[in-house]
Amino acid sequence: MSILKSGRIVELSHRMVPGQEEFPLEIATFNADEVMANTPRASTHVIQRRADIWYIIQEVKMSSHLGTHVEFPYHHLKEGKSAADYPLERLIGDAVLFDFSHKQKDEEITRQELVDSGVEVRKGDIALIRTDMHKHWKTPQAHDRPVLSLEATRYLVEEIGIHCIATDATGLEVRGRDDQPVHVMLFENNVAMVESLTNLDQLRTSRFEIIILPLPVEGLDSCPVRVIAIEQDATP
């Protein structure tokens, strides 16, 4: 891919460590030959390997909202698209970065602030909201985030027509409330939401390309993702 050859790649996903995450992540390791021998579909294809060959199979148990993850409409809408059905063209493409790292806990990001930011957001963009909350990842302050107002959300999804929204915060609504109107507005407009990015402060440009790839699992409301930004003009 030409964009990978010429661009600067920035990792935007947190590293996940079994047993150290807020949401469950467990990995069990088995002898591969024993697993294959006890798996009905594979029992006729068992291969006996030499004792000196390192070959294992692992079983992973994890939350769908583990680490850096993307939430799909099915998270709040019974008829919404899940991980396997959500169109990849809404998760790959042009991205734009809004810097609201000066915002405090529960402070709103308003529609007018988006308009006045000087950042040009276009139809089909993936909009990233920088809060610098990644610096508090896995600390007691991890959820002390600013929030996106409904008017600002409506501006992005209905007036502009963004394809996806993403943030380095653990969410864009007041934590602990009994509803999530921002989520619902996004999902009703088929806009997926990525939470808990990292390294947005390492981006050198406000416009770049982004790749967000979930696992195509049917019926999955959310999925941990590897997210990378690709900057074509990365001059500081």
Domains in the chain, CATH or no CATH each = 2-16+64-231 (3.50.30.50), 25-62 (no CATH)
Identify residue 6 by its one-letter amino acid code: S
What is the pTM (predicted TM-score) of this model? 0.89
State residue 178's pLDDT score.
84
**94 vs 233, which has greater pLDDT?**
94
Strand duo 207-213 + 164-167: pairing: unpaired
Identify residue 68 by its one-letter amino acid code: T
Identify whether the C-beta of residue 83 lies closer than 8 Å to the C-beta of residue 217.
yes
Q: Mean pLDDT over residues 201-219, rounded?
A: 96
State residue 1's pLDDT score.
44
Give the H or E element holding residue 3: helix 2-6
pLDDT of 170 strictly over 50: yes
In angstroms, the CA 188 to CA 46 distance is: 47
Give every CB contact of residue 228 below 8 A, 6+ residues apart in sequence.
Answer: 9, 10, 11, 12, 13, 210, 211
In angstroms, the CA 215 to CA 197 distance is: 17
Q: What is the mean pLDDT of the chain?
A: 91
Give the residue carrying structure tokens 């920088």. 130
Strand duo 147-148 + 108-109: pairing: parallel
User: pLDDT tens for residues 88-133?
Assistant: 999 999 999 999 999 999 999 999 999 999 999 999 999 999 999 9
Strand partners, 222: 71
In angstroms, the CA 194 to CA 227 distance is: 9
pLDDT of 234 strictly over 60: no
Q: Mean pLDDT over residues 4-16, rounded?
A: 87
User: pLDDT tens for residues 56-79?
Assistant: 888 899 999 999 999 999 999 999
State residue 236's pLDDT score.
46
State residue 176's pLDDT score.
83
In angstroms, the CA 182 to CA 61 distance is: 29
In angstroms, the CA 153 to CA 114 distance is: 10
In angstroms, the CA 177 to CA 209 distance is: 34
